[in-house]
């Protein structure tokens, strides 16, 4: 498989930072009561994660191992501050909607986690792809849960009221926690089923190949005899 395709699929699906690695839980629980806020947070994380991965990957041969974590934190904090400035200047409504969670991206485990686990061992291009993929994975997860929470909690989708019925619990962090837990269950079950099916298929193929090889060997022996 193409390595970029593998990095992308890992980031979005097989190592999804929200559902599989359970990283970035604080903004997840805080923001998924609104689908729009969840989407906006996800987009901000994509930008910051990609840039931090690129910068850290570019500097990986310069930064000594002993001070790598402080260096990563400085880079990430700078990027988050920059994004805050840009949003406050050009997208004030997004800046206000994300509130304190925007500043908390500095301590989002996904950003530091990808810097430590991937960017400091891979090339700039690979790190950029990894940043975008993980950011997309995070965004999709948050938005999907945001849609569920907002629909159940407020009867609306992306702010547009579509029904009067609502369950207040799902507008609160407690409701978000329930949806988060159930989403992890569902996602893990689907991935597990998919991987089992893949394994069964691979085993079947391997068995068939083995049988074919055995048959071929037997035929060859009979031919020789």
The binding site for another protein (CB under 8 A) comprises 30-31, 33-34, 37, 59, 62-64, 66-67, 70-71, 74-75, 77-78, 81-82, 85-86, 88-89, 92, 96-101, 168, 171-172
- Minimum separation from the CB atom of position 89 to another protein (A): 4
The minimum distance between CB 169 and another protein, in angstroms, equals 10
In angstroms, give the least distance from the CB of 196 to another protein: 40
User: In terms of CB distance, is 58 or 217 closer to another protein?
Assistant: 58
Q: In terms of CB distance, is 99 or 181 closer to another protein?
A: 99
* CB nearer to another protein: pick between 94 and 133: 94
Which residue lies nearer to another protein by CB, 13 or 63? 63
Residue 27 in contact with residue 143, Cβ under 8 Å? no
Minimal distance, residue 194 CB to another protein, in Å: 35
Judged by CB, which is closer to another protein: 74, or 186?
A: 74
Is there a contact between 35 and 146 (Cβ–Cβ < 8 Å)?
yes
Cβ proximity to another protein, 99 vs 214, nearer residue: 99
Q: Count CA atoms within 13 Å of residue 200 on its CB side.
A: 6
User: Considering the complex, what minimum distance in angstroms separates the CB of residue 181 from another protein?
Assistant: 19
**DSSP letters spanning the chain:** --HHHHHHHIIIIIT-TTTTS---HHHHHHHTTSHHHHHHHHHHHHHHHHHHHHHHHHTTTTS-GGGHHHHHHHHHHHHHHHHHHHHHHH-HHHHHHHTHHHHGGGG-HHHHHHIIIIITTS-HHHHHHHHHHHHHHHHHHHHHHHHHHHHHHHSEETTEE--S---GGGGSHHHHHHHHHHHHHHHHHHHHHHHHHHHHHHHHHHHHHHHHHHHHHHHHHHHH-
In whole angstroms, the minimum distance from the beta carbon of 62 to another protein comes to: 6
């Amino acid at each position: 498989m193409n390595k970029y395709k593998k990095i992308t699929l890992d980031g979005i699906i097989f190592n999804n930072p929200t559902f599989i690695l359970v990283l970035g839980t604080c903004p997840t629980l805080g923001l998924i009561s609104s689908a729009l806020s969840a989407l906006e947070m996800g987009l901000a994380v994509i930008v910051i994660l990609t840039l931090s991965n690129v910068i850290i990957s570019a500097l990986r041969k310069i930064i000594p191992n002993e001070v790598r974590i402080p260096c990563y934190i400085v880079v990430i904090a700078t990027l988050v501050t920059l994004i805050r400035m840009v949003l406050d200047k050009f997208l004030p409504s997004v800046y206000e909607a994300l509130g304190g969670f925007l500043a908390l991206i500095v301590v989002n485990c996904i950003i530091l986690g990808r810097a430590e686990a991937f960017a400091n061992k891979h090339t700039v291009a690979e790190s950029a792809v990894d940043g975008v993929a993980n950011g997309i994975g995070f965004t999709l997860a948050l938005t999907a849960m945001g849609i569920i929470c907002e629909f159940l909690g407020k009867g609306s989708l992306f702010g547009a009221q579509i029904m009067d019925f609502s369950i207040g619990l799902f507008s609160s962090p407690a409701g978000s926690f329930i949806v988060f837990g159930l989403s992890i269950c569902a996602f893990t079950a689907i991935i597990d089923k998919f991987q089992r099916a893949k394994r069964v298929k691979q085993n079947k193929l391997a068995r068939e190949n083995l049988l074919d090889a055995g048959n071929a060997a037997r035929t060859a022996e009979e031919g020789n005899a």
